[in-house]
Structure 1
Amino acid sequence: MSRPPTVWLTRASMLLVLLAIMLVSGPARAHEFRPALLRLTELADASGQGGGRFDLRLVAPALSTAGAIGEGDLTPIVPAHCELGQLRLDCGSQGLIGELGVAGLDRHPVDVIVELRFVDGTQVTAVLGPDQPTMTLDGTSDGTSGGADNDGVFADYVALGIEHILLGPDHLLFVFGLVLLVRAAGRNTRTLLWTVTAFTLAHSITLAAATLELVHVPGPPVEAGIALSILLLARELACGQTDETARDSPLLSVNESTKVSASGREALARAENSWSWRYPWVVAFGFGLLHGFGFAGALSEVGLPQGQIPLALLGFNVGVELGQLGVVALLLVLLAGGRALAGAVGLSEKTARLATRAPIWAMGGLAFAWTLDRVLGFWG
């Protein structure tokens, strides 16, 4: 006897959820985005002037999109007349003029924040990447032929913010949960935008506070808390889901006349009385404060350009907001497409509800695995 399509859909959904958990949960860590840092600090000679000698630090992240970054995979590129020793760069009387950058970005595509600090107080900041692994230093007042100015720093950090949100699986999953929550609560797109913006505003506050060293929170508990926030959000979504709940779903719009059982009405009433469903922007703001400490943990490993920290932070947060809004727009398109497809193929209400539950199962499963992994990491 052939099994009904609903049975196959349920089993296929569960299989996809388990597969996603196995593939993602093991290596997943919060904020895998880690730019590299190339910092050169000029050393004063006996007279207190710059003598063409620099302290050089190249700090590489542990991972790139191509995998683990080993020792020596990323190396400094220095002007030909300069001599590079262990943590020292000697450019002699010619000074720091020529090509400066990082080799190996073709194999490990990461961004590189370059910071130059001269004895006379001049500071130059730039961002390099696989498409532009070097910069030209020509001895002008700003240090580069490209003119590293405030506009350039702002644009560079906007790009870093967009990249951060797109490469942060836990942040993306939380934003995905917010979209589902607002839609399930029957709110409009304007409410959704305010909810996402509240999330950005909150993590901007704690990111700035942590970066300026006004507040310090250890990294491991923050990462575990971020995973737990996703798990709690998934729970809120699951509590409002029953086979008979008369609530709009991403794939199905239930007619108001649809018969709802006592258990369905009870689940719906619990959801509607929940703060998460009634005030999603408050939940987004509250958990956003926690996520901001996670962002700060990523940036603290490489630092921000001295003298331009406010501008860099503003650019980074603008980039995060743009990235989030782009993700939200894509999700709305996909959800609308899923609803249209469900209507075109004639899915039953029960089958459609099972399909809408699958993302919540996956979200909760991944969040649980991340929480367990990060808590166990306290003793690792």
Structure 2
Amino acid sequence: MFRLSAPVLLRRSLWLFPLALLLWPTVGQAHALNTDLSRLSRTDVVLTYLQLGFTHILPLGLDHILFVLGLFILDPRLKPVLWQATAFTVAHSITLGLAAAGLVTPLSSVVEPLIALSILFVAIENLLTDRLQPWRVALVFGFGLLHGLGFAGALADIGLPKHAFMESLISFNVGVELGQVTIILLAWLLVGKWFGNKPWYKQRIVVPVSLLIGAVALWWTVERVFFV
């Protein structure tokens, strides 16, 4: 299960970059659907929701970006962080699917502060530990269930075409995963590849980055509880 090396994972993931660039519109265009969903062909539905899922992460999902960076920064090797991202994707796909099917009704007033707290938790954990704990994948899976409810709120605002419900739902999830993998690969190319094995990595990179992520998450928690 864990036999793939980081270089192999990187080579197998590099094909995502051209697709990610094609899916990256301007901020003003993202999440704007000025068309009748019922008139879209299944191919158009797949491409549209793939893009919507991607842009919900990049560039619009700053909270999800910080969450993924928080996971990455503690141990910047590709294999561990990609396994965490996979657990996160499986989890958010479950709750997003349940919410889209009407089986779960997420309350944004509850979900959004909890998402901020999950980011804060990861940042604090990064400060308190020197290595990746084996149970972190299970923890990320739990947080993924929570973040999926946040994705459901955004998807509810857009809507899903009835004639291609599963196609649009799956495409949105794939777009989200593409966004997450893009963040991970960019962070690895900018930081992990060059500094991940340095003896000062913890003090000079993990600590300040985690403090910044934690401070933002703490503010979001307060803001979403008392000012929204």
Taking the TM superposition and a 5 Å limit, the aligned residue runs for 1:87-102 are none
Task: Please report how far the alpha carbon of residue 124 of structure 1 lies from its aligned counterpart in structure 2 after TM superposition.
Answer: 1.3
Q: Give the match for residue 374 of structure 1.
A: 224
Taking the TM superposition and a 5 Å limit, the aligned residue runs for 1:78-157 are 108-110=28-30, 111-112=32-33, 114-115=35-36, 123-125=38-40, 149-157=41-49
Task: Please report how far the alpha carbon of residue 212 of structure 1 lies from its aligned counterpart in structure 2 after TM superposition.
Answer: 1.0
* Match among 93, 100, 116 for residue 204 of structure 1: 93
Q: Give the match for residue 325 of structure 1.
A: 181
Point out the structure with max Rg over C-alpha. 1
Tell me the TM-score normalised to structure 1 length.
Answer: 0.49
User: Is the strand fraction higher in 1 or 2?
Assistant: 1
- Structure 2 residue runs of 5 or longer lacking an equivalent are 1-25
* Match among 289, 292, 304 for residue 145 of structure 2: 289
Residues 106-155 of structure 1: CA distance to partner in whole angstroms, max 9, x if unpaired?
Answer: xx434315226xxxxxx413xxxxxxxxxxxxxxxxxxxxxxx2122111
How far apart, CA to CA, are the structure 2 residues paired with 1:113 and 1:300? Answer: 16
Specify the code of the residue in structure 1 equivalent to 2:53: G
The structure showing larger relative contact order (alpha-carbon pairs under 8 Å, at least 6 residues apart) is 2
Taking the TM superposition and a 5 Å limit, the aligned residue runs for 1:1-380 are 65=27, 108-110=28-30, 111-112=32-33, 114-115=35-36, 123-125=38-40, 149-166=41-58, 167-183=60-76, 188-240=77-129, 247=130, 277-336=133-192, 338-339=194-195, 353-377=203-227
Q: Give the match for residue 7 of structure 2.
A: none
Specify the code of the residue in structure 1 equivalent to 2:142: G
Q: 1:238 to 1:156 in 2, by over 3 A?
A: same
User: Sequence identity, in percent?
Assistant: 39
Contact 2:195 2:201 in 1 (8 A): no
- Structure 1 residue runs of 5 or longer lacking an equivalent are 1-63, 66-107, 117-122, 126-148, 241-246, 248-271, 344-348
Residues 84-127 of structure 1: CA distance to partner in whole angstroms, max 9, x if unpaired?
Answer: xxxxxxxxxxxxxxxxxxxxxxxx434315226xxxxxx413xx
How far apart, CA to CA, are the structure 2 residues paired with 1:352 and 1:204? Answer: 33
Specify the code of the residue in structure 2 equivalent to 1:227: A
Q: 1:339 to 1:301 in 2, by over 3 A?
A: same
User: Is the helix fraction higher in 1 or 2?
Assistant: 2
Task: Please report how far the alpha carbon of residue 351 of structure 1 lies from its aligned counterpart in structure 2 after TM superposition.
Answer: 9.2
Number of residues of Structure 1 aligned to a counterpart in Structure 2: 201
Specify the code of the residue in structure 2 equivalent to 1:231: L
CA root-mean-square deviation: 2.4
- Partner SS for 1:301: helix
